[in-house]
C-alpha cells in the first residue's frame, strides 16, 4: 500500500495585483498554514521537517528575495517527484489593463518598475511569469472577480471539508466580451431563440422563469439539453478518474443575459440532481450588478 504523503503544499503565484495575498488569506481561513514571501531556497526545509498536520500555502512572487522563474519551475518539478509531497500550483491571473488600473488607483509602485510607470512593470512581470503560468495546475482569472467570488473559487478547489471530490463550476458569459479564461469546456447557445427580441423579456435575465420557459420552447432545446447533459454526466467521472480536481463549464450567448444564463442554471441544477457539487457564476450579470452598485455609490457620495 502506498503511504500517505507527509505534506500537502499549495504554491500561489501570479503578477502583482492579481490577488495573491487575498488568496492566501482565504486559504488560511480554510485551515491552511500560510507563509508569504518565503525564499525559494528555504522551501525544501519545510519538506524535510516534521509534518505539520495541516496543508501549507506558500505565496511566491517577484518580491521573494531569490525569486526567478527557472528556479521556481525546478523546485516545482523536484517536489512533484517527491513521494512525501502533494503539490498544486495556483496562478492568479488578471488582464494587464486591470492590473495597471489597480496600481494607478492605489498609487503603489510596481516591484519591477519602482521608478517607471506601472504599465512597464506589469509587462515585465507577465513576461517573467509566463513559463510558470503554463506550468500551473489551476488558473484563476481575477479580472472580474470580487473577493466573494474569489473565495468561492478557492473553496471549490481547496476546501478540505468539501464532500465531493470534483467540484463543478457552471458559468455564463457574453461572446461580445470574450471567452472566459480558465474554463475547461465551452458551449455556444446562440442558435437558440433569443428572448432579447421579446419586449416583455428583454429587461429580465435567464434566471427568470419566463425567460427559461421561452428558451425551453425552442424546438431544438430539448434534444440539445438532453444530449449535452448525458455527455457531461459521462465526462465528469472520466475527468475525476484522470485526476482532475475542479471542472469549469461555460455557456455563452450574444449578451450573456438570457440564453446562456438560462442554460447554465438548468444544467447546474441537472448536474446537482445527479450528485455533483455545483457552483454557478454569471459573469455579465455580476459585472452589471457591480457597475450599478458603483454608480449608486457615486450618486450617494455626490
CATH number of the domain residue 154 falls in: 3.40.50.300
Domain presence at residue 2 = no
Q: Looking at the structure, tell me whether residues 149 and 12 fall in a common domain.
A: yes
Q: Which of 36, 14, 16 lies closest to 27 in space, CA to CA?
A: 36
**The three cell numbers locating residue 301:** 457620495
Domain-located, residue 105: yes
Determine the pLDDT at residue 301: 52
Same domain, 196 and 267: yes
- Kindly give, in sequence order, each residue whose CB lies less than 8 Å from that of residue 254, ignoring residues fewer than 6 positions away: 174, 175, 176, 190, 194, 196
Better pLDDT: 280 or 12: 12
- Choose one of 124, 158, 192: the last residue of a domain: 158
Of 84, 86, 88, the C-alpha closest to 6 is 84
The partner residues of 34 in beta bridges, in order of sequence, read: 57
Residues 126 and 173 both lie in one domain: no
Q: Is position 1 within any domain?
A: no
Q: Kindly report the number of other CB atoms within 10 A of residue 281's CB atom.
A: 21
19 with 138, same domain? yes
Residue 277 — left, alpha, or beta (φ > 0 → left; ψ -120 to 50 → alpha)? beta
Share of the chain above pLDDT 70, in %: 91
> Are residues 256 and 207 both part of a single domain?
yes
Among the candidates 139, 158, 177, a domain finishes at: 158
Average pLDDT of span 278-293: 78
Same domain? For 67 and 196 the reply is no
Residue 301: inside a domain: no
Structural domain contains residue 217? yes
Pair 22, 144 in one domain: yes
Q: Which domain holds residue 222?
A: 168-290
C-beta separation of 260 from 172 below 8 A: yes
Residues 27 and 139 in one domain: yes
Q: What's the confidence (pLDDT) of residue 198?
A: 96
Mean local confidence (pLDDT), 93-118: 84
Residue 29 falls inside a structural domain = yes
The three three-digit cell numbers of residue 230, written as one number:
448525458
Predicted pLDDT of residue 299: 54
Q: How far is it, in rounded angstroms, from Cα 225 to Cα 220?
A: 9
Confidence of residue 302 (pLDDT cuts 50, 70, 90): very low
| Structure-block grid coordinates of residue 150 | 474569489
Is there a single domain that holds both residue 221 and residue 108? no
In the predicted structure, residue 292 carries a pLDDT above the cut 90: no
Instruction: Please tell me whether residues 178 and 54 are part of one structural domain.
Output: no
Q: In the predicted model, what is the mean pLDDT of residues 250-279?
A: 94
Q: Give a yes or no: residue 296 inside a domain.
A: no
Contacts of 12 (CB under 8 A, 6+ apart): 20, 23, 24, 27, 57, 58, 59, 60, 90, 92
Q: State the pLDDT at residue 256.
A: 96
Question: Is the alpha carbon torsion for 69, 20, 164, 281 positive or negative?
Answer: negative
Highest mean pLDDT among 58-62, 123-127, 263-267: 263-267
Computed over every residue of the chain, the mean pLDDT equals 86
Show the cell assigned to 53.
Answer: 498536520
Could you tell me if 134 and 230 lie in one domain? no
Beta pairing partners, 281? 171
Same domain for 238 and 184:
yes
Domain count, the chain: 2
Tell me the pLDDT tens digit for each residue of 160-192. 665 556 788 899 999 998 888 778 999 999 999
Query: What integer pLDDT is reported at residue 58 of this predicted model?
Result: 92
pLDDT of residue 230: 97
Contact 206, 252 (CB under 8 A): no
111 in a domain, yes or no?
Answer: yes
Q: What is the percent of the chain where pLDDT is above 90? A: 37
In this predicted structure, what is the pLDDT of residue 203?
Answer: 95
Q: Tell me the pLDDT tens digit for each residue of 116-148.
A: 888 898 999 999 899 898 888 888 888 888 777
pLDDT over 60 at 296, yes or no: no
Instruction: Specify whether the CB–CB gap between 195 and 254 falls below 8 A.
Output: no
pLDDT of 2 over the 50 cut = no
pLDDT at 201 exceeding the cut of 80? yes
Report the pLDDT value the prediction gives residue 290, as an integer from 0 to 100. Answer: 62
Residue 160: the pLDDT is 64
Domain edge (last residue) among 127, 158, 189 = 158
Report the C-alpha gap between 196 and 215 in whole angstroms. 11
d(CA 244, CA 241): 7
Q: How far apart are CA 211 and CA 198, in angstroms?
A: 10
Cα–Cα distances in angstroms (integers) from residue 220 to residues 188, 202, 227, in the given order: 13, 21, 11
CA 165 to CA 264: how far, in whole Å? 21
pLDDT confidence tier of residue 297, bands split at 50, 70 and 90 = very low
Q: Which residues contact 103 (CB under 8 A, 6 or more apart)?
A: 16, 17, 109, 110, 118, 121, 122
Q: Residue 118: its pLDDT value, please?
A: 85
Model confidence over 207-257: pLDDT tens digits? 999 999 999 999 999 999 999 999 999 999 998 887 777 788 999 999 999
Over residues 19-44, the pLDDT tens digits come to 999 999 999 988 899 998 888 888 88
Between 22-31, 87-96, 107-116, 259-268, the lowest mean confidence (pLDDT) is in 107-116
DSSP line for 132-177 = HHHH-SEEEE-TT--HHHHHHHHHHHH-TT-SSSS-EEEEEEEGGG
Amino acid at each position: 500500500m502506498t503511504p500517505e504523503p507527509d505534506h500537502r503544499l499549495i504554491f500561489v503565484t501570479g503578477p502583482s495585483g492579481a490577488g495573491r495575498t487575498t488568496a492566501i488569506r482565504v486559504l488560511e481561513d480554510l485551515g491552511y498554514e500560510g507563509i508569504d514571501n518565503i525564499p525559494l531556497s528555504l522551501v525544501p526545509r519545510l519538506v524535510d521537517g516534521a509534518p505539520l498536520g495541516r496543508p501549507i500555502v506558500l505565496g511566491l512572487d517577484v518580491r521573494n528575495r531569490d525569486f526567478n522563474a527557472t528556479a521556481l519551475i525546478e523546485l516545482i518539478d523536484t517536489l512533484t517527484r517527491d513521494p512525501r509531497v502533494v503539490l498544486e500550483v495556483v496562478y492568479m491571473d488578471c488582464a494587464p489593463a486591470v492590473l495597471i488600473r489597480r496600481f494607478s488607483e492605489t498609487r503603489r509602485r510596481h516591484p519591477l518598475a519602482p521608478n517607471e510607470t506601472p504599465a512597464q512593470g506589469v509587462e515585465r512581470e507577465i513576461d517573467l511569469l509566463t513559463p510558470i503560468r503554463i506550468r500551473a495546475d489551476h488558473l484563476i482569472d481575477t479580472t472580474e472577480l470580487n473577493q466573494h467570488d474569489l473565495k468561492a473559487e478557492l473553496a471549490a478547489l481547496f476546501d478540505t471539508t468539501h464532500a465531493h471530490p470534483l467540484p463543478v463550476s457552471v458559468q455564463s458569459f457574453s461572446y461580445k466580451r470574450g471567452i472566459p479564461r480558465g474554463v475547461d469546456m465551452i458551449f455556444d447557445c446562440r442558435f437558440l431563440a433569443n428572448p432579447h427580441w421579446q419586449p416583455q423579456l428583454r429587461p429580465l435575465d435567464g434566471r427568470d422563469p419566463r425567460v427559461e420557459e421561452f428558451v425551453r420552447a425552442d424546438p431544438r432545446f430539448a434534444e440539445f439539453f438532453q444530449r449535452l447533459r448525458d455527455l457531461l454526466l459521462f465526462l465528469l467521472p472520466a475527468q475525476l478518474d484522470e485526476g482532475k480536481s475542479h471542472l469549469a463549464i461555460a455557456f455563452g450567448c450574444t449578451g450573456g443575459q438570457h440564453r446562456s444564463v438560462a442554460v447554465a442554471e438548468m444544467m447546474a441544477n441537472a448536474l446537482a440532481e445527479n450528485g455533483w457539487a455545483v457552483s454557478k457564476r454569471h459573469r455579465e450579470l455580476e459585472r452589471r450588478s457591480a457597475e450599478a452598485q458603483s454608480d449608486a455609490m457615486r450618486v450617494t457620495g455626490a
